[in-house]
Structure 1
Amino acid sequence: MYILNLGNNFLSGELPDCWSNMPYLEVIVLENNRFTGKIPSSVGTLQFLRSLHLRKNNLSGEIPMSISNCTTLKTLDFGENELVGNIPPWMGHNLSHLTILSLRSNKLSGYIPRELCALNFLHVLDVAHNKLLGNLPSCVGNLSAMVYSINGLFDNYIYYGTPNYFIENLFLMVKGNFYEYDRTLNLVRVLDLSDNSLFGDIPWKITKLQGLQSLNLSHNHFTKRIPPNIGDMSSLESLDLSVNKLLGPIPESMSKLSFLSYLNLSDNHLTGKIPLGTQLQSFDASSYAGNELCGLPLMKNCNEVNQRVLGTGNNVEKDTDGDKVNWLFVSMAIGFIFGFWSVLSPLVISRQWRYAYYRYLDEMWWKSLSLCV
């Protein structure tokens, strides 16, 4: 037997641990059932296994290390289960032929291992909806299969056997929706790390992935700025950076993404003018919501924002002038009080000065009377 396809049924219970009895299996499809328990370690005895689909069950526990012996694996889909633990670093060393790795919607924790960057044939990496944390390794820019644009050298689909007795398929979140890919799966380049707890900056080396079509880093804790040369990712059709803590302006280079048909930058701390470009102005205003941005397609005009800023500056100036006038009156009052008491204080303190002052006033009075006569 070369292929076992029991997917999309109502099978339940634990997976049997007797896979060593079928040593020539190349494809196992048990997805979309109700299996529970752990992934049996005897799966690791299948040295010719190329495709393993256990998606959408209720499997628990950690990914067994015995799978590191399945060195011919090209597709590994464990998505939508209850798996825990870390993403095993040995995947990057032992499963060197992996083209598709989907671990989405589990309970995996820890860091994204740098060893995954060594998977030169990997063109779909989906670890969304887990509990991963830490920085995104900058070596992600070394994923060779995502660096180069697709050309005529690739078949549209991935198949096993002759004549094509099994065509590979996969569900992926692209452009905000789930799609099933089968006959075009080999043409897809997807990196989905959304809905985790990743933090730090988005490494600039990610922009080396010029063949990548869909990048989803939404619902994380990424900070700092969007890489300024993101426009170099010339094959991007879908970009989702929403619900992070990204700062600063939208890079001008983003206007060069001519294939971009889905964009979501909402709920960040982005500021300034949306760069002019046919693509960026064609998206709905909701793509930019929850930021301090201006310009089309938003209703907020950048000129009005600038005038408001200038107006605020003028008000500050006026307030400053007002403060100067107030201080003038205060200084006049202080001067009057000081002058007034500088004259009267000697008369109050010294009796001799007071008598002399009264005599002086009397003399001046009599002199004025004599002049009148």
Structure 2
Amino acid sequence: MSDAVLNSTVLNLNSNHFKGRMPQLSANVRELNITGNSFVGPISTFLCLKRNRMNKLIILDASFNLLSGELPDCWKDWQSLARLDLGSNSISGRIPYSMGSLVALQSLHLENNNISGDIPSSLQSCSQLELLDIVENHLQVTIPLWIGEMTSLMVLRLRSNGFHGHIPLQICQLSSLIVLDLANNSLSGTIPKCLNNLSALAKPDNGGSIHFGYLPYGYSMYVENLFLVPKRKQLEYFDNVKFVRLIDLSSNNLSESIPVEISVLFGLLFLNLFQNHLTGTIPEKIGSMKELESIDLSRNHLSRKIPPSMSNLTFFSQLDLLYNNLSGRIPSSTQLQSFDALSYTGNPQLCGDPLPKNCIVEEEPSNRTPTGRAEDHSEKYSFYIGLGVGFAVGFWAICRVLFFKRTWRHAYFRFLDGIKD
């Protein structure tokens, strides 16, 4: 295949059994899709070949092959590229600085390779970049602060690398972001409170206002694809990726509380904070995120009650709260009671359906009953004291009159004698 010179404008050779080196291209080729074959050899042989450098290629998808070697440094000859997918190969080395010369680039897939080093700051020049996917590589650095300058980014996936340090606040400047996947790294610190600035996640959207994967070239049949893990299962999305709204920060070392500001992300569908060191409570207004389909807060240190507002969530298909320190009664709702008890396992102080542990009927609060009794006793004591004082005063008043009034005293004794007779 490598000796052939491909000449068609659009070449779709995906999912075949082609082997050998990548082919040579004529200047007519605008789209080359060779995903799912067995092409081998270094990618530089294809990219830096003099004949190939004369082309005006817009889409190159060479994912799921056996390509190897390092990413070359001849990207200045490929400035017409808008879609570049080299995912799921055996490419190694660093991301070269010259990739910043791909000024028309809209999506960059480098996932599932052996790439190391860092993300070069030259990518800031790719001002039209909508998707950056570097999942499952060996980037063991901090997330660069300049990432906030990539204002066109809609998908940022840095999952399963070795990123460490804090999540930079600059990520909150990505107002177009609909997918933020930083899972399975070594990130520490807190979840940024400013995530409420991700305005594309702050309102429900049916995808009509999102033109993700759109290329203004009438002949292209290429459909952007993306592998996501919305419910701990990897799923492949194609044109429907524009409907996804996801934040996945799972399997890191994040600490402190879940910011209450996250509750204003009304368009969010999937929230995964599994296996961190989060403390405090579940945000009280989480029930206002009515589009949520999946919440995974398991294996943290969250405490106190499940917010009653969670009973307002009606689109749930997955809930994981297991292994926290939650307590009290599970709020009553059709959805919350529809999940298996496993969703609540590891919270010994939780009770109520669907758990086998029944909640003890709460008696009238102890601070009210004694007060009421004290008030009753006080009224009785006042009555008896008043009665005694009244009797004493009346008795001594009569005795005083009898003592000082002789005529009354004689009359009184005659009265007593009469009664006695």
Identify which of 324, 332, 354 aligns with 1:268.
324
SS in 2 for 1:105: coil
SS in 2 for 1:199: strand
**What's the counterpart of residue 45 of structure 1?**
101
Query: Deviation of residue 276 (structure 1)?
Result: 0.3
Q: Note if 1:2 corresponds to 2:62.
A: no
Query: Deviation of residue 151 (structure 1)?
Result: 3.2
1:160-179 aligned within 5 A:
160=215, 161-179=217-235
**What's the counterpart of residue 125 of structure 1?**
180
User: How far apart, in 1, do the equivalents of 2:211 and 2:121 lie?
Assistant: 32
SS in 2 for 1:171: strand
2:279–2:303 Cα contact (<8 Å) kept:
yes
Q: Note if 1:110 corresponds to 2:165.
A: yes
SS in 1 for 2:64: coil
Output the TM-score relative to the length of structure 2.
0.71
1:10–1:34 Cα contact (<8 Å) kept:
yes
User: How far apart, in 2, do the equivalents of 1:303 and 1:226 lie?
Assistant: 23
Q: Note if 1:68 corresponds to 2:124.
A: yes
Could you report, residue by residue, the CA deviation over 1:99-140 in whole angstroms, capped at 9, with x for unpaired residues?
A: 100000000011111111111110000000000000111000
**What's the counterpart of residue 99 of structure 1?**
154
**What's the counterpart of residue 254 of structure 1?**
310
User: How far apart, in 1, do the equivalents of 2:231 and 2:199 lie?
Assistant: 23
**What's the counterpart of residue 319 of structure 1?**
none
SS in 2 for 1:272: strand
Where in structure 1 are there 5+ consecutive unaligned residues?
Answer: 311-373
Q: Which amino acid letter does the alignment assign opposite residue 206 of structure 2?
A: N
Indicate the structure whose relative CO is greater, using CA pairs within 8 Å and at least 6 residues apart. Answer: 1
Q: Note if 1:30 corresponds to 2:86.
A: yes
1:134-283 aligned within 5 A:
134-151=189-206, 153-154=208-209, 158-160=213-215, 161-283=217-339
Q: Which amino acid letter does the alignment assign opposite residue 300 of structure 1?
A: K
User: How far apart, in 1, do the equivalents of 2:85 and 2:212 lie?
Assistant: 17
Could you report, residue by residue, the CA deviation over 1:311-339 in whole angstroms, capped at 9, with x for unpaired residues?
A: xxxxxxxxxxxxxxxxxxxxxxxxxxxxx
1:324-339 aligned within 5 A:
none
Q: Which amino acid letter does the alignment assign opposite residue 46 of structure 1?
A: L
Structure with the largest fraction of helix: 1
Query: Deviation of residue 171 (structure 1)?
Result: 0.9
For the structure 1 residues 157 and 44, does the alpha-carbon distance in structure 2 shift closer, same or farther, using more than 3 Å as the test? closer
2:352–2:359 Cα contact (<8 Å) kept:
yes
Q: Which amino acid letter does the alignment assign opposite residue 176 of structure 2?
A: F
2:158–2:182 Cα contact (<8 Å) kept:
yes
User: How far apart, in 2, do the equivalents of 1:164 and 1:70 lie?
Assistant: 22
**What's the counterpart of residue 351 of structure 2?**
294
Could you report, residue by residue, the CA deviation over 1:205-261 in whole angstroms, capped at 9, with x for unpaired residues?
A: 000000000000111011000000000101000000000000100000001000111
**What's the counterpart of residue 21 of structure 1?**
77
Could you report, residue by residue, the CA deviation over 1:11-37 in whole angstroms, capped at 9, with x for unpaired residues?
A: 111111111111111111000000111
Q: Which amino acid letter does the alignment assign opposite residue 114 of structure 1?
A: L
1:300-319 aligned within 5 A:
300-303=357-360
1:355-370 aligned within 5 A:
none
User: How far apart, in 2, do the equivalents of 1:164 and 1:12 lie?
Assistant: 28
2:207–2:243 Cα contact (<8 Å) kept:
no
SS in 2 for 1:281: coil
User: How far apart, in 2, do the equivalents of 1:277 and 1:75 lie?
Assistant: 38
1:340-351 aligned within 5 A:
none
Deviating beyond 2 angstroms after TM superposition, the runs of 4 or more aligned structure 1 residues are 151-166
RMSD across aligned C-alpha pairs, in angstroms? 1.6
Query: Deviation of residue 155 (structure 1)?
Result: 5.9
Identity rate of aligned residues, in percent?
A: 48
SS in 1 for 2:234: strand
Equivalent pairs counted in the alignment come to 306
**What's the counterpart of residue 24 of structure 2?**
none
2:206–2:243 Cα contact (<8 Å) kept:
no
